[in-house]
């Protein structure tokens, strides 16, 4: 076997171990998000929800879903060795992630007429959006590192596990929001508290 073949074999072995580790982390993280989800329904049931900005909720959700589209394009581009489209898609995803954070933490939290200390129901809203925003922030940092390394030419069609890991993490965060959005913004009649 050539040195390149041995190196690629070692890379594939490490990649398999890393993939298992990523999925174990995501499963454990899903339990935490699931606990928040259950707490929301335990506190407010299915007939009540907090008074939140419906339009802003729709906008930030659209931004996050659009970011997933571009992350998928970026990952697919790298799998085919298309560095230019990989960089473009990753950068757009990164910027949309920042826009989501600005929408939730920078706008939504600032215009809400209540704070997390007002009641347990309000606390769960801040906990759900805050914990999710933290994951988006870590995803943005992850994407920034992947983007920087991609600009340096560190990925190829054969060796791009970090790109795949960033995409899987990003899609996981988006799927969580798909469950959080209706629970926080759509289900039930708005109540002040």
- 191 — pLDDT class (breaks 50, 70, 90): confident
Region 108-131: mean pLDDT is 92
The CATH H-level (homologous superfamily) assignment of domain 16-188 is Cytochrome c oxidase, subunit III, four-helix bundle (1.20.120.80)
Sign of torsion, CA 111 116 118 119? positive
Res 19: pLDDT: 87
Each residue of 175-184: pLDDT tens digit? Answer: 999 999 999 9
Res 170: pLDDT: 98
Beta strands in the chain (DSSP E): 48-50, 189-191
Each residue of 65-96: pLDDT tens digit? Answer: 999 999 999 999 999 999 999 999 999 999 99
Res 38: pLDDT: 96
Distance between CA atoms of residues 151 and 145, nearest Å? 10
Res 50: pLDDT: 87
Buried residues in 160-189 as b, exposed as e (16+ CB within 10 A) = bbbbbbbbbbbbbbbebbeebbebbbebbe
- 17 — pLDDT class (breaks 50, 70, 90): confident
Region 29-46: mean pLDDT is 94
- 139 — pLDDT class (breaks 50, 70, 90): very high
How many percent of the chain have pLDDT more than 90?
A: 74
Q: Taking 90 as the threshold, does the pLDDT of residue 64 lie above it? A: yes
Helix, coil or strand: residue 190: strand
Q: Taking the domains of the chain in order of start, what are their residue ranges?
A: 16-188
- Give kind and range of the element (H or E) at residue 187: none
Q: Taking 90 as the threshold, does the pLDDT of residue 8 lie above it? A: no
Cβ atoms 44, 88 nearer than 8 A: no
């Amino acid at each position: 076997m050539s040195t390149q073949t041995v190196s690629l074999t070692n890379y594939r072995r490490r990649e398999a171990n890393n993939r298992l580790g990523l999925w174990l982390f995501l499963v454990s993280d899903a339990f935490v998000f699931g606990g928040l989800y259950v707490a929301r329904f335990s506190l407010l049931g299915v007939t009540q929800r907090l008074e939140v900005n419906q339009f802003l909720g729709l906008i930030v959700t659209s931004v996050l879903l659009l970011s997933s589209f571009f992350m998928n394009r970026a990952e697919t581009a790298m799998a085919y060795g298309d560095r230019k489209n990989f960089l473009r898609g990753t950068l757009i995803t990164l910027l949309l992630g920042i826009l989501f954070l600005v929408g939730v933490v920078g706008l939504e939290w600032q215009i809400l007429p209540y704070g997390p200390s007002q009641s347990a129901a309000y606390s769960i809203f801040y906990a759900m959006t805050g914990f999710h925003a933290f994951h988006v922030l870590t995803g943005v940092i992850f994407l920034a590192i992947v983007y920087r390394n991609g600009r340096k030419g560190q990925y190829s069609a054969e060796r791009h596990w970090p790109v795949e890991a960033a995409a899987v993490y990003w899609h996981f965060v988006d799927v969580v929001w798909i469950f959080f959005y209706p629970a926080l913004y759509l289900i039930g009649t708005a109540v002040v508290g």
